[in-house]
Structure 1
Amino acid sequence: MPASALHDLPLIAARPPRLSTLIEAIAEIEASGIYTNGGPVVRRFESAIVEQLYQGQGDCLAVPSATVGLMLAIRHARRHHAGDLAMMPSFTFAATAHAAIWAGLTPLLIDSDPDDWAASEEAEADALRQYGDRIAVIVPYDTFGTGIDTDRYARLSAETGAAIVVDAAASLGNRDSNGMGFGGSASFATVFSMHATKPFATAEGGLIYSADAGQIAEMRAMSNYGFGNARSALQPGMNAKLPEILGLLALARLATISDIAEHRITLADRYRAVLDGLVTPQKVTMATAIPQFMPVLLPEAMAPHRAAIMADLAAHGIGSGHYFSPHLAQQPYFQQSCIIQPTSIADAIGGRMLSLPISDAMTVEDVDRVARALRMACARQLLPAQPQAPLVHETVLIGGGPAGTAMLISASKQGRLPDLASGLVVIERSARLGGGQLDSYAITSDSTAETFLSAAKDNPHPEIAALVDHPAGREIARHAGRLGVPLARTGGFLDGLGQRIGQVVTAHGGMLLMQHEAIDARQTANGLWQTRVRDAVSGAEKVLLSRHIVLATGGYQAPEDVAAAEVAGMALGQRLGDRLLPSDRFLRLGGIERLRERLAGTPAPRIAIVGASTSALASAALLLKSDLALGAGAVTLLHRQPLRPFYPSAEAALADGFTDFAQDDICPVSGFVYRLAGFRLEARELVLRMLGVGGRAPDPRMRLLHLDGSRDAEAAEMLEASDVVIGALGYRPHGLPFFAADGSRLALSADAPGRPRLTDQQCRIIDAAGEPLSGAFGIGLAAGFVPEGRLGGERSFRGKANGLWLWQNDVGQLIVDQIAANAAAARRAA
């Protein structure tokens, strides 16, 4: 049968009760003269819901829409909470976040569970650790009505003090195995939609249910302007009353909801049977879950072809969609107004999501037709693509975290980002630019709040400059004048910065390959770079050709390097076994909790830290701020390099009583003492205290042991007696396999053992012999660049220089200048 002879199958076919069949009931409303204000029809509907779906328990309130219901319920829930955040999954509809904003809260967007696509328990736990009592309300979403565990949220509320409001837009009519409606055991508010597109379809409307009838009574008053008995406002209020005519439609829908549920569930079951092996369905836990449509995940290989597949279905008269793609964290307004946690699972779900039609009028044969069309559409996308001429990009930037975006920020400050962007491709493994993994650490930054904000403040691009007034920018500003910013608080700002940088890049012709990973790079015979890239969602690979390549892939702590480090005549791993803990694991969120569990039952723990890095001092500060029972001398820092504090001038150092510096320790450009080697902010304060500078009293719980060769026996005894030893021995650069034109592997300096350099003093990636690779640059943690000459820095410095300000200014500019000069030379030669 030709497609033209078939009836169309829209994704959602609204089919609310027909008013034309309710003429007598409409006449009764007209005769009563009551059209709203909680009239008898609406109250009859509310009572029927409680009796038929909730076995007579609790109460409910009919409202004009689910969005209004969420606004009302969230505002009610936050009354006794000082927090300013509403935690919710990013994979939900815009109404959820809008409602929280209208209720006076900032949405905190978190990741999803890969099976049921609701909020991830792990992501919730991480967010609660980071933001604590700032989270006033938790707003889980019963994703597509499959039945989240409301008992777990009751426990979570009891544990944290946060209120709960469940967004259950598509769940009205769903029941558990005992016949109880969804949310029936919950004393908090559950909000449903009765929009025409929902399974429980009227023209429009919403419903708030709670097993606590007292809460509903309070919200009922709020829905009537907050009036008390004397029509005098006693609390926040609004007009949130459902008109009688919509109550009539709701009553009619309730009368048929059981039959509708059975029919739609039959269609969903048929989909699962006929699409088995092709797509991935959502996990369903409710005994009766009425589907609004059929959400499935395409195979990873098909995800890049979703638009073509949907067009193919449309050509056969079949509607489809991709709820919710983009999810909230991918939408411009919410990127500007929310705090966003990592959402890699939501990104992956959204990237593969395909919504297929289910309606009251569809048949099982219609489902079979959709399945056949979908299989054919997917098969057509597997046909070989036509070859295309290679496109040569100017620059491929690998890594969109703090270092990668720092280079782009540097270009933006110079007014050169549009030119750089015109030939730029950014490859980033996650779904967002900006924050990288910084917000996964439990320590404070060694950059000031003012340094973070300087990336946006007075930036030539207005959308970047506006970030200062974004909630995430204000979060950073709260820490101005303090000893750094908690890194767990930086993600929202850095991601917002990345999002705006990305907008500028794409607006000027650049390309963002999000959720892509660089596999390797090969230099061609004519000096170009071939970068092999893999799509993390689909697994598809492609090759990018460019004149320049920039690695901003960060650094990592290799546990084997920590174990191999020799202290007091023996490798740490050999001496300590499982008592050795790499500092990177300890400094992450949850690290102190894991250490507490490890030391449970140890009445007077002894902890040693090995190293003189910022990580070593950060580890010590984290321990001293914790609630661990640390007695006198419980923490020992074993260090080979002297501990040097930063000072803004020699005069400031001398005035503070610090004299342990010489002329070579002073930066000739800035006049700073130990500009590069000196500890800053929180680490600096701890160093000054432990050195007793200016009469400061050392913390009695900590002591220093300088490994100068004469105290090996004491160091060995200390290590043997320690319950845990934290190895804080620096980071090595994340490299990328590089190959020559003949296919042979290029040995890089970064491949050497220990803590090698990735780059030279011009930020050029260097090979094992120290020779630069043409057109290849590196920036970021452990890259190894050290300022010199006009950039300043003390002559005595022998380490690696890292820092956000440095990357966003001098280092970034150095790379941008070379790329621009090379591009100009290439144009002249052409």
Structure 2
Amino acid sequence: MKRLPLITPHPPRLSTLTEGLARIEESGIYSNNGPVLRAFEADATTRLFGGRGACLAVANATLGLMISLRDAVSDGPAGRFALMPAITFAATAQAAWWAGLTPLVCDVDADNWSAAADEEERLLERYGAQIAAVVPYATFGYGIDLDRYRWLSKRFGVAVVVDAAASLGTTDASGLGFGAGAPFPVVFSMHATKPFATQEGGLIHCADPDRIERLRAMANFGFTAPRTATLPGLNAKMPEVMALVAKARLDDFAEVAGHRDQLADAYRHAIAGRYTAQPRPTGRQALGFFPLLLPSERTHERDAIIARLGEEGIGAGKYFSPHLGEQPWVHEIAQIEPTPVADMVGSRLLSLPLSDTMTVEDVAHVVDTLDRIVAIKARPRVAAPPPIAETMIIGGGPAGTAMLTAASRHGLLPELSRGLVLVERDQAIGGGQLGRYAITSDSTAQTFLSAIEGNPDPAIAALADHPATLAIARHRASLGVPLAEVGPMLRAIGDRLHASVTANGGTVLTGTEALHARRKEGLWHVRLRDTATHRDTERVARNLVIATGGHQPLDRLVTQRVAGTSLMEIAGDRLVQSDSVLARGGFEMVADLLSSKRAPRVAVIGGSTSALTTVALLLRERPALPFGAGGITLLHRSPLRPFYHSVEAAHAEGFTDFGPNDICPVSGFVYRLAGFRLEARELVLRMLGVDGRAPEPRVALHRVTGDDDLAARNVLAEADLVIAALGYRPRALPLEEADGRPLGLAAHGGAPMVDDACRVRDRSGAPIPGLYGIGLAAGFVPHGKLGGEASFVGQANGLWLWQNDVGMMIVDQLLAGRARAAA
């Protein structure tokens, strides 16, 4: 049986280059930009890049990135970030760090797996001059749009350095090499594993010959004159022997590249309709291996699939998984944005062999073997119309998947999955929007870890050693967990839940938006839209669970009154909502708004956790804002109460402001639901002076007493910035009656969306059959065996509740209803 390793290095043989080696020995020039290297650079410029610009050969591509980045930012603004995509090799981040920059990792495009254009532009808008350079990666040799990066560079005044490590050999439709004539450095690898294989080496191309010569000096210790360093530098020179090998590869590269392109076409033809690959390029894509995505329901089997392929003599891998944002070292030094698409792509990537010595028949053998292992038929059958689903969950974020986690903790997920459809707008389930917030949770690390520890589902329990889980575990002794680190773990759990649901007969529709649902004859007809193709379909379900989260609607600010006055009228353009402040970049936004104020004054309105968390964020972020005494005023109506684990613990600190109705009869906790926890609790304890704590001098509390509270109005009128932390309202799915009339909900009038059994209520407050709600702003209040103090007024939210009692409350009703129908 012919073995097909994943990577088969096939550089020119030194044994065939003896004449050239002899000439190098005779010349006595082995490095320092010798004649062989110069000849190769000139030849590469002509043959690969149509004679445009110039090229510099270096010892390896990582060094090429390092000097290119260092040069790009040396005379630019004092930004600290290098913006780069999550799907790339670790060297991209390493090079930025060695150049003195902090990697800023963003999500990728679901189609071609390169940096997502909207994410790049969003971050450039948010961080502004803090971003010194953009480092796009031409993913797996795919020819990204460099004209767009010219535009970004001009629009935002940001440097660009292209990581094209895998792209030497990629061309446009006319045959011109990728990067030809680019005004910024485009850095290629000539490592032995690349299509343009030498043994080691890199090539930098740029339209500006002067920049190439400056980089040449930087690659030679920064010498611009003999032994005179005038630039930052290091030793990145390519030796003459490697330049000789590179010249030999250039001579036969057209044939090598053509053969690899035939193999890539054979792969695309063989997998059509069964696996996802990058779009077919208009020209040629240099490929060192062939990457594809496994079907989502096979994600958790990837390692086993790779092992099975290996047993049959076929090498396979999972470049790049873990992706850049999941690398432990990168986690420590980088700023990582939410990356749901990269998480999905990275979890499903499978790399298959593509080498100079393979044949088209070998490709067919690889795909046939993969099909057999994955158990996918070569020609998929036309699917029958989908049956009526037992349950459809709208929303696969933390709340929607928490319900599935609750079922898994009780061994009921396989039963629940039968006839289940989960609809999620993002490309992966689990993480939702948590990762976009720059704050710590009001839950402990153990709360998040409890979903994994002791879970009877072995696939979920195995996440105990996952890098995202270990990152959470490091915060066991902390006041909460950074939400940016919670997202990756929830997405990892989401991947396992996705696999389990599909393996047990359910369906997970990612990249799908629910537009509305119509109630007809006891069934829910849900209109769905594929976010990639914009194609609409309809699915029918007996039960519907709304888990679409909450938001802070702008229209509420128009009608909101504080201390008897219109909030909009008194605050005007000084008014922002807490959600935008707590999001990543929110503190920077506040700092910009207050930059002209020597002693800024901020008013925060609300007595919720988001209000206290907003105050805590403004106090602790760096660089610190110049708040003087009482610079932040918290306007609240209800008393601020700290949480205690017991009456004894409260009394031990001298806190006695509670009565019997404030104690949970189940747990014995004081202010179990109304009390602030973790970071917010510490701030409340300080402000109340509990147990001798010194109040925070920069914060003043003002309890609004009524419509005639003139002092509250003065605080709002004199504040430089007013932050409304007025809570969240449900982002409810539009519902209709059979005749198309809107189905009115209690939530539309400002009442809680659900009753004490998580059933969605109509305008009269009556539960709507077959309709449930869970998650932020659903309005659920624990009761009975769930505990909670009798004095509590409001709603309770929390991942632990959703993953346990609240989630199981819905699961039990769904399964009981199914049992009744079967009887």
Assess same fold via TM > 0.5: yes
Q: How does 1:131-170 map to 2 (within 5 A)?
A: 140-142=136-138, 143-144=142-143, 146-147=145-146, 166-170=163-167
1:101 to 1:408, Cα distance in 2 relative to 1, 3 A: farther
Match of 2:355 in 1: none
Match of 1:307 in 2: 273
Q: Secondary structure at the match of 1:799?
A: coil
1:497 to 1:423, Cα distance in 2 relative to 1, 3 A: same
Query: What is the total number of aligned residue pairs between the two structures?
Result: 687
Q: How does 1:43-62 map to 2 (within 5 A)?
A: 46-52=37-43, 59-61=56-58
Residues in 1 aligned to 2:245 and 2:158: alpha-carbon distance in whole angstroms: 39
Cα distance, 1:537 vs structure 2:
0.9
Q: Does 1:466 align with 2:462?
A: yes
Match of 1:587 in 2: 582
Residues in 2 aligned to 1:771 and 1:418: alpha-carbon distance in whole angstroms: 31
Unaligned runs of 5+ in 2: 1-8, 46-51, 71-80, 205-211, 222-233, 265-270, 303-317, 327-336, 347-380
CA contact (8 A) 1:397 1:549 kept: yes
Cα distance, 1:590 vs structure 2:
1.5
Match of 1:717 in 2: 714
Q: Does 1:823 align with 2:818?
A: yes
Which of 512, 525, 536 aligns to 1:516? It is 512
CA contact (8 A) 1:421 1:506 kept: yes
| Cα RMSD (Å) | 5.4
Cα distance, 1:598 vs structure 2:
1.8
Q: Secondary structure at the match of 1:307?
A: coil
Q: Does 1:679 align with 2:637?
A: no
CA contact (8 A) 2:24 2:30 kept: no
CA contact (8 A) 1:153 1:164 kept: no
Q: Does 1:393 align with 2:389?
A: yes
CA contact (8 A) 2:44 2:250 kept: no
1:613 to 1:129, Cα distance in 2 relative to 1, 3 A: farther
Which of 735, 754, 757 aligns to 1:762? It is 757
CA contact (8 A) 1:90 1:328 kept: no
Residues in 1 aligned to 2:276 and 2:706: alpha-carbon distance in whole angstroms: 70
Cα distance, 1:60 vs structure 2:
2.3
Deviations 1:390-424 (A, max 9, x none): 50112111101111111111111111112212221
Residues in 1 aligned to 2:261 and 2:285: alpha-carbon distance in whole angstroms: 14
Residues in 2 aligned to 1:418 and 1:788: alpha-carbon distance in whole angstroms: 28
Q: Does 1:249 align with 2:248?
A: yes
TM-score between both structures, scaled by the size of structure 1: 0.70
1:734 to 1:153, Cα distance in 2 relative to 1, 3 A: closer
Deviations 1:406-449 (A, max 9, x none): 11111111111122122211101111111111111122111112
Which of 797, 809, 817 aligns to 1:814? It is 809
Match of 2:630 in 1: 633
Deviations 1:156-204 (A, max 9, x none): 9x999xx9882342246989x9x99678965xx9233588996xx5699
Match of 2:502 in 1: 506
CA contact (8 A) 1:74 1:100 kept: no
Residues in 2 aligned to 1:422 and 1:74: alpha-carbon distance in whole angstroms: 53
Q: Which amino acid aligns with 1:497?
A: I
Deviations 1:723-750 (A, max 9, x none): 2211111111111122233443221112
Deviations 1:13-64 (A, max 9, x none): xxx9999xx9996574799999xxx989x9876432334457998852467x
Q: Secondary structure at the match of 1:488?
A: helix
CA contact (8 A) 1:112 1:345 kept: yes
Unaligned runs of 5+ in 1: 1-15, 64-68, 79-84, 219-234, 265-290, 296-304, 351-384
Match of 1:747 in 2: 744
Which of 429, 434, 455 aligns to 1:433? It is 429
CA contact (8 A) 1:555 1:782 kept: yes
Q: Secondary structure at the match of 2:803?
A: helix
Q: How does 1:538-577 map to 2 (within 5 A)?
A: 538-577=533-572
Match of 2:649 in 1: 652
Deviations 1:330-361 (A, max 9, x none): 976556565365457889999xxxxxxxxxxx
Q: Which amino acid aligns with 2:143?
A: F
Match of 2:525 in 1: 530
CA contact (8 A) 1:53 1:173 kept: no
Residues in 1 aligned to 2:15 and 2:619: alpha-carbon distance in whole angstroms: 76
CA contact (8 A) 1:393 1:545 kept: yes
Match of 1:603 in 2: 598
Residues in 2 aligned to 1:739 and 1:476: alpha-carbon distance in whole angstroms: 42
Cα distance, 1:116 vs structure 2:
10
1:74 to 1:401, Cα distance in 2 relative to 1, 3 A: farther
Cα distance, 1:319 vs structure 2:
13
Residues in 1 aligned to 2:247 and 2:135: alpha-carbon distance in whole angstroms: 30
Q: Secondary structure at the match of 1:741?
A: coil
Q: Secondary structure at the match of 1:450?
A: helix
1:761 to 1:130, Cα distance in 2 relative to 1, 3 A: farther
CA contact (8 A) 1:71 1:103 kept: no
CA contact (8 A) 2:11 2:197 kept: no
Match of 2:367 in 1: none
Deviations 1:628-683 (A, max 9, x none): 11111111111111111100001101111111110111111111001100011111
Residues in 2 aligned to 1:786 and 1:570: alpha-carbon distance in whole angstroms: 31
Deviations 1:350-394 (A, max 9, x none): 9xxxxxxxxxxxxxxxxxxxxxxxxxxxxxxxxxx9995550112
Match of 1:375 in 2: none
Identity, % of aligned pairs?
43
1:87 to 1:504, Cα distance in 2 relative to 1, 3 A: farther
Q: How does 1:219-234 map to 2 (within 5 A)?
A: none
Cα distance, 1:603 vs structure 2:
2.1
Cα distance, 1:139 vs structure 2:
5.8
Match of 2:73 in 1: none
Residues in 1 aligned to 2:43 and 2:717: alpha-carbon distance in whole angstroms: 69
CA contact (8 A) 2:430 2:490 kept: yes
Cα distance, 1:469 vs structure 2:
2.2
1:207 to 1:787, Cα distance in 2 relative to 1, 3 A: same
Residues in 2 aligned to 1:658 and 1:412: alpha-carbon distance in whole angstroms: 40
Which of 450, 461, 479 aligns to 1:454? It is 450
Q: Secondary structure at the match of 1:548?
A: strand
Residues in 2 aligned to 1:697 and 1:768: alpha-carbon distance in whole angstroms: 48
Residues in 1 aligned to 2:243 and 2:276: alpha-carbon distance in whole angstroms: 40
Residues in 2 aligned to 1:482 and 1:681: alpha-carbon distance in whole angstroms: 9
Residues in 2 aligned to 1:782 and 1:26: alpha-carbon distance in whole angstroms: 72
Residues in 2 aligned to 1:629 and 1:104: alpha-carbon distance in whole angstroms: 31
Residues in 1 aligned to 2:452 and 2:15: alpha-carbon distance in whole angstroms: 64
1:344 to 1:629, Cα distance in 2 relative to 1, 3 A: same
Deviations 1:54-103 (A, max 9, x none): 7998852467xxxxx5599789999xxxxxx99742456xxx35997999
CA contact (8 A) 1:194 1:205 kept: yes
Match of 1:772 in 2: 767
Cα distance, 1:791 vs structure 2:
0.9
CA contact (8 A) 1:733 1:781 kept: yes
Match of 1:272 in 2: none
Residues in 2 aligned to 1:411 and 1:136: alpha-carbon distance in whole angstroms: 47
Residues in 2 aligned to 1:182 and 1:45: alpha-carbon distance in whole angstroms: 24
Q: Does 1:688 align with 2:685?
A: yes
Q: Which amino acid aligns with 1:810?
A: D
Residues in 2 aligned to 1:244 and 1:328: alpha-carbon distance in whole angstroms: 43
1:815 to 1:482, Cα distance in 2 relative to 1, 3 A: same
Residues in 2 aligned to 1:216 and 1:236: alpha-carbon distance in whole angstroms: 5
Residues in 2 aligned to 1:788 and 1:512: alpha-carbon distance in whole angstroms: 32
1:583 to 1:241, Cα distance in 2 relative to 1, 3 A: farther
Q: Secondary structure at the match of 1:190?
A: strand
Which of 695, 702, 726 aligns to 1:705? It is 702
